[in-house]
Structure 1
């Protein structure tokens, strides 16, 4: 299934889509108003989120699937969003080219231990349709479309689309500036949903389009088959000696890298699509 979150009369609602219909799970069970609540019930009853949701479909208010785009919200409230770096060859090449210390990126691409870093918190994360931010003190800003792994108590329960918006000029100046290049207001977007029925997350088509003045200023396509590490390996390192929050998202790295001459601008619109999950669309603003 795919799980969406929206607001109705100011209150959060959890929607599930199945067989071309959207179901308001919160109408059937008021306590199920977020994916986290659904995952918690699944954990307590030792079932999957889908098995918990299925009995609620009969009692839930049904809508056309198109309504999931009405007043959308971040599909889940992840207390922490983490990200992995240099998991694709093109990402290693791009970060080597931008940095004055290129050898560290070559080393981490081939190393046993992956690069993992804290990316965002709930207050910095936006959902579908909300503006992502580019830093005004950065001259070179890029979107980074990524597959997001959704964890509940450290276990994989679904997948989402993520945009790890980054300042390449700040990180390129010195790798120790990575937190400033990655963590700031509106630095991350997630959505449009959480998908729980992905058979193989390592074989998904992914695309990125940046629109400027209603024209495609950049387009790129890739597949998650190019990841040098598996989702399970990345999660194992994230949870090693690290008590992650109940609901956590791990972004798995990008392999779509715009040309060096390209930088996001306020007013742009970024569209990321991942096969089997959906399309995440965000306008760009300065922060």
Structure 2
């Protein structure tokens, strides 16, 4: 799949973006952290054997200023094409977490899923009934605010309150585990849809790279692939709807926070989605991070804090405002993926994450976990 891409398709527009990532290097027979140097990749495995350890370095930005200090691994195109290796998700030992229901549009769609009980044919009717009431009340409401409390009281009086609205505008964010450490796939890989699902979608999101002390050290893009019909049947099926083989894509690279890209800039990013199917179907849209109900800093602080630690750091999906409704299989049935779909998630300052859709049971099983990583690094003399 990745052979259809080039470096120009996935890199950010800004040439001075400080980018780190992870590749499978055929010559080393294992994964290595890398630094992007123009269209080339430099090997950081001697600086830190894992991405987790790399991001924990307190002086990382200073140590990466002289890119020539690190050995040249090869051209980025050689890893995109597969001739020298593969692009991997730019994380390894970190916990992969996700914040749900953080945009007004996605809040409304989660309520619709809940009331539709997983049946996409009921979604249009429910959307038409609820959108004028719930949608208007949610616009511009900041989670945990006095205004949010007023909206909650109003919707409760109208018997329209939902568990999704509670985590969407209440004081406590929904933070869940998206995937086990090491299970995420990178740019150019296949992403998986469980074969039981007939109503599913991509969820294009900004993903924070967070150090173990809670500091946000970078950002990248992610696809939180979601089975709407499964979660709609019961919120207790969230794990089955979210965590499946290749259902989490992250990449292409982490843009590190520095003087040219500060934490405050993350909240102003625009994220685009484009789905192109083998059947000629196309869907696109743009999500504005400025519309999020909780700031990236707030979501990070609700993930790592005095009550909840991640010693290897965390990758945190910030949620999506996309809940595609464009009909695909028939009038009133909304959007769902078909195998072969090309999914492009992009942001000018972060680059593009591009993947192709297949069934989870047809994608190569995930076998390279933490134990395999430790054995591989030890064999290569990196531990």
Tell me if the contact between 1:22 and 1:67 (Cα under 8 Å) persists in the aligned partners.
no
Per residue, is there more strand in 1 or in 2?
1
Question: Computing the radius of gyration over CA atoms, which structure comes out larger, 1 or 2?
Answer: 2
Give the structure-1-normalised TM-score. 0.89
- In the alignment, structure 1 segments of 5+ residues that lack a partner are none
1:2 to 9, 19, 24: 19
Alpha-carbon separation, structure 2, partners of 1:146 and 1:30: 31
Q: Which moved more, 1:220-229 or 1:76-85?
A: 76-85
Tell me if the contact between 1:141 and 1:169 (Cα under 8 Å) persists in the aligned partners.
yes
Matches within 5 A, 1:1-287: 1-8=18-25, 9=27, 10-18=29-37, 20-26=38-44, 30-40=46-56, 42-43=57-58, 47=59, 49-61=60-72, 66-67=77-78, 69-70=80-81, 71-100=86-115, 103-153=162-212, 154-197=214-257, 198-199=261-262, 200-213=265-278, 215=280, 217-240=282-305, 241-259=307-325, 261-287=334-360
Alpha-carbon separation, structure 1, partners of 2:216 and 2:68: 23
Over the residues paired in the alignment, what is the CA RMSD in angstroms? Answer: 2.2
CA-to-aligned-CA distance 1:30-51 (integer Å, 9 cap, x gap): 24344323223x23xxx2x221
Alpha-carbon separation, structure 1, partners of 2:70 and 2:301: 38
Alpha-carbon separation, structure 2, partners of 1:267 and 1:65: 24
CA-to-aligned-CA distance 1:91-143 (integer Å, 9 cap, x gap): 10111111139612222222111111111113531111111111111221110
Please state how far the C-alpha of 1:147 moved relative to its aligned partner. 0.4
Q: Which moved more, 1:49-58 or 1:198-207?
A: 49-58
Alpha-carbon separation, structure 1, partners of 2:68 and 2:49: 14
CA-to-aligned-CA distance 1:45-65 (integer Å, 9 cap, x gap): xx2x22122245345327656
CA-to-aligned-CA distance 1:230-281 (integer Å, 9 cap, x gap): 1110111112311224131010000122116110122112111123111111
Please state how far the C-alpha of 1:79 moved relative to its aligned partner. 3.4
Alpha-carbon separation, structure 2, partners of 1:184 and 1:17: 30
Alpha-carbon separation, structure 2, partners of 1:15 and 1:123: 17
Alpha-carbon separation, structure 2, partners of 1:62 and 1:176: 45
Tell me if the contact between 2:98 and 2:177 (Cα under 8 Å) persists in the aligned partners.
yes
SS in 1 for 2:266: coil
Aligned length: 279
Alpha-carbon separation, structure 1, partners of 2:311 and 2:357: 29
Tell me if the contact between 1:77 and 1:247 (Cα under 8 Å) persists in the aligned partners.
no
Q: 1:15 and 1:178, CA in 2 relative to 1: closer, same or farther beyond 3 A?
A: same
- In the alignment, structure 2 segments of 5+ residues that lack a partner are 1-17, 118-160, 326-332, 361-383
SS in 1 for 2:250: strand
Please state how far the C-alpha of 1:174 moved relative to its aligned partner. 1.3
SS in 1 for 2:188: coil
CA-to-aligned-CA distance 1:161-209 (integer Å, 9 cap, x gap): 1110011001111112111111121110100000014331011111011
